[in-house]
Chains A and B, each alone.
Chain A
């Protein structure tokens, strides 16, 4: 009897929570999905913002993968002084409000800052440019990649590398021939998570680069300029857009992990 009551309570709570998550998204897609998809043909600004979002998110992800993979590997494999501090620093961008992240980036990379000044002299403007969008996306989403990539590396038993080393591989070759293939699925999933987080970023981008507009900034702009009705198609298309990485992630996680043999 008690088990049945518990089962009912669990089912009701779970259903209510799922409804809370799904209802707004479903309502948005129902209300604006068809109009949004139809407007893709005529709404040049929406098309451009989607393309800009995808492009900058991809660049940020590529930079993140190149720059953060060695760090993720170090955190997964090596013990070094300050490792705990580095781990904590990696989580910092996840916990600070994103507009604050944008302000911090503006402070460091804005034209008035020493670094921003040098970059500007080199012809690289960060604020109010696609570079700024990439920086904002990289800052807020790379920690997610590091965390997931670290997990992916940690799941590969280091003895595979040890065996490869005794079979003649140097450290880099063992990493390339053994660790990388064995963690490839996890690393890809980590990159997809990063990309998904990047395309949904708003707070840091809006501080650093209002124009050109990413899809999230465009949705905000339409809302403040034209109201809810005009925003619905853009918002619905953004939701559909976000389903791409979500489906990819599901597919990547669906397969059986490589067993230890």
Chain B
């Protein structure tokens, strides 16, 4: 039991050191611009269809639930703005982050894990390339750029999904729907909630990269790294979200109103 605790604490220490190194290296030139752009495309742009379709479906479902509740009070006109606030403040960022921890987390864990067991990471180092900067820092920056953008996409498609549901239920026009949707949203609703996904991006990339980078035991280890990357990233996102929401309420009191 003591041994397991010690080993667990050692791992936490290693992950923290790994994450701190990633932060430090982000600001030290030379920057791997070309690879970072490639990663934004691979991790971000190629995740867009998943986020767009999921956002649309979430918007439709949220709209149907909101209608069922607000109809009882004759407050159907609040559906677009209620849905928009729910999406922008919490549902969009958290859902996008959890979906991306699945797609990106598993991808990074498996890719770097496979590179480790097939000596490709050693080959990078042997080619006089700093593998940490080339593989990890680029992915961390790419995730921190991609998450807010994909969250914004999810918010938008979510609202579009809400519109489709409303249109089907009441025949509401697109203009009226979006006028109502944006009527109650302010800067303090969108910016802090979207920017917090940069932290989620950092968590997904560092956790998955760490697990991939430290993979052992061949292909079995790659599978394990991939699964753990998803599980641990998701857990850390959910836990850190509690702290971030508390922080946002403190710094932007309007966000909690």
A and B associate in one complex: no
